[in-house]
Amino acid sequence: MTRQMTGAKMVVQALKDQGVDTVFGYPGGAVLPIYDEIFQQNDIRHILVRHEQGAVHAAEGYARSTGKVGVALVTSGPGATNAVTGLTDALLDSIPIVVLTGQVPTFMIGSDAFQEADTVGITRPCTKHNWLAKETETLSETLHQAFHVARSGRPGPVLIDIPKDVQFASGTYTAPEKSDTSIYEPQTKGDITAINELVEAMEKAERPVFYTGGGVINSGPKASQLLRELVDATGIPITSTLMGLGAYPASGENWLGMLGMHGLYEANMAMHDCDLMINIGARFDDRITGLISAFSPDSIKAHIDIDPSSINKVIKADIPIVGDVESVLTDILKVWKARGRTVNREAIANWQGQISDWRKVECLKYTQEGKVIKPQYALERLEALTKDHDRYITTEVGQHQMWAAQYLGFEDPNRWMTSGGLGTMGYGVPASVGVQVAHPDSLVINVAGEASWLMNMQEMGTAVQFRLPVKQFILNNERLGMVRQWQELLHGERYSHSWSEALPDFVKLAEAFGAKGIICSDPDDLDEAIMEMLNYDGPVIFDCLVEKHENCFPMIPSGKPHNEMLLGEASTQGAIEAGGAVLV
Amino acid sequence: MAALKIKKGSTSHSAYNLRPNFSDTQEAHTLAVLVDNEPGVLARVIGLFSGRGYNIESLTVAEVDHTGKLSRITVVTTGTPQVIEQIKAQLGRIVPVHDVHDLTVEGPSVERELALFKVAGTGDKRVEALRLADIFRANAVDSTLESFVFELTGAPEKIDAFAELMRPLGLIEVARTGVAALSRGAE
């Protein structure tokens, strides 16, 4: 059936046909026709954000927590440029989102018209692909292709720039199934010879480790299930990047905790000493590898990734497998079972023994004493009081983010939304809004630092307007904590502009927004205050005043290998005085 | 501070200085990239090179299939073997890119470039320029009493050699198209 309709109507029709139920957006001159169509229907819910960056992060939070494609709609010029940070964030973390931008009419493009920007030019390097829709006739097909590109292969952000005259003009609507998606067909099935080689290596390995990443989560819930089956059947210990938390449960017996710059001692040591490293959907990011020349020197490295450009980019893979995690794990399990479910049980038992020795270091130990709340304590209590809830966590970026990754346990995928690759301060508040929209009855907590939180705090208005009971859990140290920590360690304790002065009264701020404010500074009151936050049916800003100079450990200083991590001030300093600078 | 054995004020601890210990021999490769001829496609390819810090030694682009609306981009690039692999993988990721061929490794290939040379001079120099042009099988496509414009087609090395010879004979300006290349044989 061919249907004639305006470009603006096509946008709404295409969104419906793609199964979109929510759009995060902000209107403006160049998208008014689309907003007019949105006004005249009830299938798609529009969430009015307070800033276009917020729209994109909210769409990211929605996408990451549901596995669906997130959608943002913004106007031309400043609307589009404000979306750039979110697009880049989604690109680095492989989050599938479609961003629709308005553009000045085609006949005015290039004339420096009001609110004109070269959106496609500006966003070319920060999208997986983008389009300037020049004709209404092809607009609907472009929209369907955009969803296809965003969700296929390695997911990512795409953008369609739609001039206003294209929105007004009429054309033929093409249904999704009639649209040509052959423009992009990434390989999803792994090479079976390489998979066999990997299974053989797994059978022989004495000190194997799984190193998993966001790719497992992007591949879908089935991939996490298969991963759990493989890990538990083989007894091979598993660590994960920041982006991959939840793919394997934190309570699982083979779980080592997060690895990397602020990863756990046992995880990093296992990575350094292993003889077989099985990378599943991670990309050897510099926060993970530390000093590359000393990275896991004695291991065979297998790398499973859907993106061929990830393989051999940083670390040479001995067994490269290009494919989708779910498909490759299915094949690995099939081959491994068919070959008799062999692993080197004795060697792996020894290896697990070695790992338990490393665990005894208790790298996350800290001391909560006196009348000041340690940030680690705050998160431990938050974990204890919320772990049985149907819970989603978002974060901002900095020390609190690392502590959240260390002290909160994730049992399932899609429960942890954080800006990993780009490290975007200001991500958490809008992301929590997006997650809560997708999961209205769940507990959504944004673990934040006060400095990051302020960057997109305007989205509290969105939370209040749409009755989204997001809990903003701010670890307030009146510092840019991670910057301060690096200045202490690397810049001679010269704390250049790394403290927050003239902070708002967060309780009053909450009340000004129409939300609830809670302040807590005494460790003895913390549990009760957290319960008050949880029991309040509405958005809460929780101002948790914490120790101001706490550093985040363990830490692999940049330029050091995994086995030279720093384990907290007290132990490090003690060890130095005793002559051994760094614990191994 | 001392506890961490990091010198005060040191700036050499950035992770961004870390480099893998892959081979560092530089190689020149000729890549043929088949793309949809659509607006912005060249910008995507060039943006990839500039954004990721790769080199472009030569770049040629034109539509080669009018019905299929396909363009062929021939790019000569240099880098370590690992960087060349990255370039190919990154090019392959671009949505309107259909095919990436590394002509340098995929068997023998022919490479040709067209160049125009403006040479000004009188007397012996002018005669010598014309003689050399004849040896190189360059055509004079424009001439005045004081100048020639020669057209020369050949491998880049031949173009370089001719330019070198013309320099003392009054070479004023050179225009080169960049390399076009095809694999040899029936495939």
Segment B59-71 shows an average pLDDT of: 96
> What is the rounded distance in angstroms from the CA atom of residue B52 to the CA atom of residue B50?
6
Confidence at residue A122, expressed as pLDDT on a 0 to 100 scale:
98
> What is the rounded distance in angstroms from the CA atom of residue A537 to the CA atom of residue A469?
6
**Option in B8, B14, B89 nearest A308 (CB):** B89
> What is the rounded distance in angstroms from the CA atom of residue A259 to the CA atom of residue A252?
16
Q: Do A124 and B43 touch (CB under 8 A)?
A: yes
Q: Do B51 and A125 touch (CB under 8 A)?
A: yes
Q: Do B19 and A120 touch (CB under 8 A)?
A: no
Residues in B closer than 8 angstroms to A141, CB to CB, are none
Query: What are the CB-based long-range contacts (under 8 Å, 24+) for A227-230?
Result: A227/A280, A227/A325, A227/A329, A228/A252, A229/A333, A230/A329, A230/A332, A230/A333, A230/A336
- Helices marked H in B41-102: 41-51, 81-93
**ipTM reported for the complex, 2 dp:** 0.89
**Option in B4, B21, B51 nearest A566 (CB):** B4
DSSP at A29: G
Q: What are phi and psi of A342, to 5 degrees?
A: -90, 135
Q: Do B3 and A576 touch (CB under 8 A)?
A: yes
Listed in sequence order, the residues at least 6 apart from A543 whose beta carbon sits closer than 8 Å to its beta carbon are A450, A474, A476, A506, A507, A517, A518, A519, A520
Is B108 an 8 Å CB contact of chain A?
no
Q: Do B11 and A490 touch (CB under 8 A)?
A: yes
Q: Do A121 and B1 touch (CB under 8 A)?
A: no
A572: closest chain B residue by CA: B3
Q: Do B92 and A183 touch (CB under 8 A)?
A: no
Active site residues of A: 52, 114-115, 164, 482
Q: Do A490 and B90 touch (CB under 8 A)?
A: no
**Contact (CB, 8 A) for A2 and A13:** no
Q: What is the pLDDT of residues B130-178, one digit of tens each?
A: 999 999 999 999 999 999 999 999 999 999 999 999 999 999 999 999 9
- Identify the residue among A138, A187, A307, A313 best suited for mutation to test binding to B, counting B beta carbons within 10 A and taking the highest: A313
Residues 43-62 of B with CB under 8 A from A: 43-44, 47, 51
Confidence at residue A561, expressed as pLDDT on a 0 to 100 scale:
86
Which helix (H) or strand (E) element contains residue A132? strand A129-132
Confidence at residue A560, expressed as pLDDT on a 0 to 100 scale:
82
Compute the nearest-CA separation of A211 from chain B (Å).
19
**Option in A149, A292, A581 nearest B21 (CB):** A292
Confidence at residue B136, expressed as pLDDT on a 0 to 100 scale:
97
**Contact (CB, 8 A) for A47 and A466:** yes
B89: closest chain A residue by CA: A309
**Option in A129, A183, A557 nearest B4 (CB):** A557
Distance of CA A438 to the CA centre of its chain: 16
Is B13 an 8 Å CB contact of chain A?
yes
For chain A, the first-to-last Cα distance in angstroms comes to 69
Compute the nearest-CA separation of A273 from chain B (Å).
19
Compute the nearest-CA separation of B63 from chain A (Å).
18
> What is the rounded distance in angstroms from the CA atom of residue B97 to the CA atom of residue B76?
17
Q: Do B47 and A124 touch (CB under 8 A)?
A: yes
Confidence at residue B183, expressed as pLDDT on a 0 to 100 scale:
95
- Identify the residue among A130, A132, A284, A491 best suited for mutation to test binding to B, counting B beta carbons within 10 A and taking the highest: A491
Residues in A closer than 8 angstroms to B21, CB to CB, are 292-293
Compute the nearest-CA separation of A541 from chain B (Å).
35
Question: Considering Cα of A194, then A199, then A204, then A206, what sign does the dihedral take?
Answer: positive
Q: Do A582 and B90 touch (CB under 8 A)?
A: no
Residues in B closer than 8 angstroms to A184, CB to CB, are 95
**Contact (CB, 8 A) for A150 and A96:** yes
A567: closest chain B residue by CA: B4
Percent of the residues in chain B that have a pLDDT greater than 90, as a whole number: 86
Residues in A closer than 8 angstroms to B14, CB to CB, are 558-559
Q: Do B96 and A128 touch (CB under 8 A)?
A: no
Confidence at residue A569, expressed as pLDDT on a 0 to 100 scale:
67
> What is the rounded distance in angstroms from the CA atom of residue A399 to the CA atom of residue A393?
15
Chain A residues with CB within 8 Å of chain B CB: 120-121, 124-125, 128-129, 132, 149, 183-184, 286-287, 289-293, 307-309, 311-316, 488-493, 557-559, 566, 569, 572-573, 576, 581-582
B19: closest chain A residue by CA: A292
Counting one residue from chain A and one from chain B, the pairs whose CB atoms sit within 8 A come to 90
Compute the nearest-CA separation of B112 from chain A (Å).
30
Q: Which amino acid is at B175?
A: A
Confidence band (pLDDT; 50, 70, 90) for B24? confident
Which helix (H) or strand (E) element contains residue A512? helix A506-513
Q: Do A559 and B12 touch (CB under 8 A)?
A: yes
SS3 B100: strand
Confidence band (pLDDT; 50, 70, 90) for B22? low
Which tokens is B56 given?
């472009």
Dihedral (C-alpha) A429, A433, A438, A443: value to the nearest 10 degrees? 70
Residues in A closer than 8 angstroms to B18, CB to CB, are 286, 289-292, 558-559
CA dist A400 → A92, A139, A256, A475 (Å): 21, 43, 20, 7
Listed in sequence order, the residues at least 6 apart from A525 whose beta carbon sits closer than 8 Å to its beta carbon are none
Compute the nearest-CA separation of A370 from chain B (Å).
25
User: Over its length of 584 residues, how does chain A's per-residue pLDDT go in tens digits?
Assistant: 579 999 999 999 999 999 999 999 999 999 999 999 999 999 999 999 999 999 999 999 999 999 999 999 999 999 999 999 999 999 999 999 999 999 999 999 999 999 999 999 999 999 999 999 999 999 999 999 999 999 999 999 999 999 999 999 999 999 999 999 999 999 999 999 999 999 999 999 999 999 999 999 999 999 999 999 999 999 999 999 999 999 999 999 999 999 999 999 999 999 999 999 999 999 999 999 988 889 999 999 999 999 999 999 999 999 999 999 999 999 999 999 999 999 999 999 999 999 999 999 999 999 999 999 999 999 999 999 999 999 999 999 999 999 999 999 999 999 999 999 999 999 999 999 999 999 999 999 999 999 999 999 999 999 999 999 999 999 999 999 999 999 998 888 999 999 988 999 999 999 999 999 999 999 999 999 999 999 999 999 999 999 999 999 999 887 788 888 888 765 444 333 333 233 22
**Option in B6, B51, B94 nearest A490 (CB):** B6
